[in-house]
Amino acid sequence: MLTSDNPEKEKWILLLAIAGIFLWHSILTVSLNLIPDECSYWTWSRRLDWSYFDNSGMTAYLIRLSTEIFGRSTPFTVRFPFLIGCLITTVLIYSSAVLLSGSSRIGAYSALFFNLAPLSLLGAGAAVHDNALIMFWVLALWSMAKFVRTDNHNYFYLTGLSAGLAILSKYTGVLLLPSILLWLVSSKRYRPILTRKEPWIGALIAALFTLPILWWNYQNGWASFKHILFIGSSGHPGLWRKVADGIGYQLSQCLTISPLFYFAIISAILSSTISQIRKRTDEKLLLLFMGTPLVLFSVMAFKGHSEANWAVMGYLSTGILTVMVLSDRDDRATKFLSERYGLSRFVRIGTIVSVSLVALIAAHAWLGILPAFVEKRLGKEDRIIWETHGWRGLGKYLPGLIKEGDVIAGDTYQLCSLLEFNIPGQPDVRYLSPWDRPTQFDVWHRSFDDLAGKNILFVSSKPLLPTSSVLMTIYENFSSVEQLPPYEVMYHGEPIREIYVCRGHAFNPYKPRRLGPRSLFYWDQ
């Protein structure tokens, strides 16, 4: 049992808990096949560029570095940098919390708090943008915490470097700079620093890391920025639907962080904001403003489209803030939380809730909780089973159907990425579809003219049928279509879905309709 009456015992229990979670991450890294998003970023790493259609390139660079070092691409080698990044993030959270609170106990609990969230337990070692962003975001937080403790203005240079790497990890990393600026403006003590050179040189260092992104977009008609604006403004016009979307976003946050942790963080933010009105504390102000993405995307969710993971970096500092609030029994604004729960009791209950959620998800992914007939009806709506079942088997199945000269193609970028990773030899796969939604594969191949006359082994979650009044297909662009045996995805010994395979002979990209060159802009379609 965690108790502050025996701090030495408590310290070792916390360290063992964090070590156990890291071991869990290591097991996931090795044992689970890559999910579609991870496969997508792996395909980026095979074709290095200044930036990419969907986002900036740090994830691709880290994957490429790791797979080059190990000499092969496996789930472990793809995820390895992010597994190490998770460890670095944990250490930086601990150190930041100690610097800002003066307590190693708060540091240890903060590190544990980060690792216990379901999003972290399930995905901290995944090869995705958010994990790279989180590592550099918390590096910036640590740098500012060191500045607070030392008054060494040179830490703004490290903060600028961290911000630049965060932006290179994911576009939302740009929110780091205004978050720190808001903190400096709000702090009576540190506001005069804005007249010094160090913060602005730090901002300039961060800006330098945007040059690869700007260069790529300049070369491609600013397609990436327009793509982000498009998906970020796709809200529904109806008022009630906007309200429903906003509430749905909050529910997704609740599950991502776990209900108890989410309630505690929101309560800590509100109570700390009230206490800062009465008496400002620079350390807590920093933690509050580094959580700016939480407020920003919560508001955006009621006005447009916000994904559940867009604000995840905001939980790093507010998690530390929550631990500080639960440890402080003297602050009147936060006393109801600290007295109601207490830090050790809160962690015990929070651990049970969070681990129970993760255990349920893990059991469903590995064992399958729902009956086969239910899964067959749910299909893609159950993303846990859809993303984790069948792809490795499909990769082993297809070589038996491939003939010399065949070009392998799929009709979604996720499927193309999954095929590239899971087919032995990891061949290049082409994205081939009649619809005009742009993807990263269209950056690599805008035109289908080079496929003229070739035989295409076409893979899809739907059978390739002739074009009808309700469905446009590429069926007529082949001289003939040979339907091949589909691959059956098994679940509890029963097939729950089929992946369809056909061989299209003598592909004609010009008739009966011209396929490509595909625009990278939605509104050109």
Same domain, 279 and 388: no
Q: What is the pLDDT of residues 227-264, one digit of tens each?
A: 887 766 555 557 777 788 888 888 989 888 888 889 88
Same domain, 27 and 135: yes
Cα 288 to Cα 324: distance, rounded to the nearest angstrom: 12
Same domain, 226 and 286: yes
Strands lying side by side in the sheet with 430-431: 430-431, 407-410, 456-460, 494-505, 480-491
Is the CB of residue 356 less than 8 Å from the CB of residue 348? no
| Total count of residues recorded for the chain | 525
Asked whether residue 488 is assigned to any structural domain, the reply reads yes
Asked whether residue 366 is assigned to any structural domain, the reply reads no
Same domain, 352 and 397: no
Asked whether residue 369 is assigned to any structural domain, the reply reads no
Number of domains the chain contains: 2
Kindly state the DSSP code that residue 303 receives in the 8-state scheme.
T
Of 326, 359, 392, the last residue of a domain is: 359
Quickly count: other Cβ atoms within 10 Å of residue 430's Cβ: 19
Residue 501: C-alpha distances to residues 290, 394, 397, 498 (Å)? 49, 10, 11, 9
The overall average pLDDT reported for the chain is 91
Which comes out higher in pLDDT, residue 193 or 511? 193
Asked whether residue 131 is assigned to any structural domain, the reply reads yes
| Axis crossing angle, helix 104-116 with helix 314-327, rounded to the nearest 10 | 130
Of 359, 374, 406, the last residue of a domain is: 359
- 387 membership: H or E segment, kind and range: helix 383-388
Same domain, 88 and 51: yes
Kindly state the DSSP code that residue 459 receives in the 8-state scheme.
E
Asked whether residue 235 is assigned to any structural domain, the reply reads no
Same domain, 331 and 477: no
Is this prediction's pTM over 0.85? yes
Show the tokens assigned to 52: 């990419």
Cα 439 to Cα 54: distance, rounded to the nearest angstrom: 8
Find all residues with CB under 8 Å of 119, minimum gap 6, and list them. 256, 257, 309, 312
Of 359, 392, 422, the last residue of a domain is: 359
Asked whether residue 365 is assigned to any structural domain, the reply reads no
Same domain, 221 and 337: yes
Quickly count: other Cβ atoms within 10 Å of residue 157's Cβ: 16
Q: What is the pLDDT of residues 292-322, one digit of tens each?
A: 999 999 888 887 777 888 899 999 999 999 9
For residue 87, pLDDT over 90 is answered with yes
At residue 1, the pLDDT reads 39
Asked whether residue 376 is assigned to any structural domain, the reply reads no
At residue 346, the pLDDT reads 79
Please tell me whether residue 499 adopts helix, strand or coil conformation: strand
For residue 32, pLDDT over 70 is answered with yes
Half-sphere exposure of 389 (CA within 13 A, CB side): 27
Is the CB of residue 268 less than 8 Å from the CB of residue 325? yes
At residue 146, the pLDDT reads 98
Q: Is the peptide bond before 517 cis (omega within 30 degrees of 0)?
A: yes
Same domain, 390 and 354: no
Same domain, 313 and 404: no
At residue 524, the pLDDT reads 52
Residue 235: C-alpha distances to residues 239, 278, 300, 353, 370 (Å)? 10, 38, 10, 32, 32
The beta-strand segments (E) located in 51-141 are none
Same domain, 12 and 77: yes
**Rg (alpha carbons) of the chain, rounded to whole number:** 25
Same domain, 316 and 170: yes
Show the tokens assigned to 160: 């600028």
Asked whether residue 451 is assigned to any structural domain, the reply reads yes
Find the domain containing 516 and state its range.
383-524
The residue to which tokens 């050109």 are assigned: 524
Cα 499 to Cα 410: distance, rounded to the nearest angstrom: 11
Show the tokens assigned to 476: 């007529």
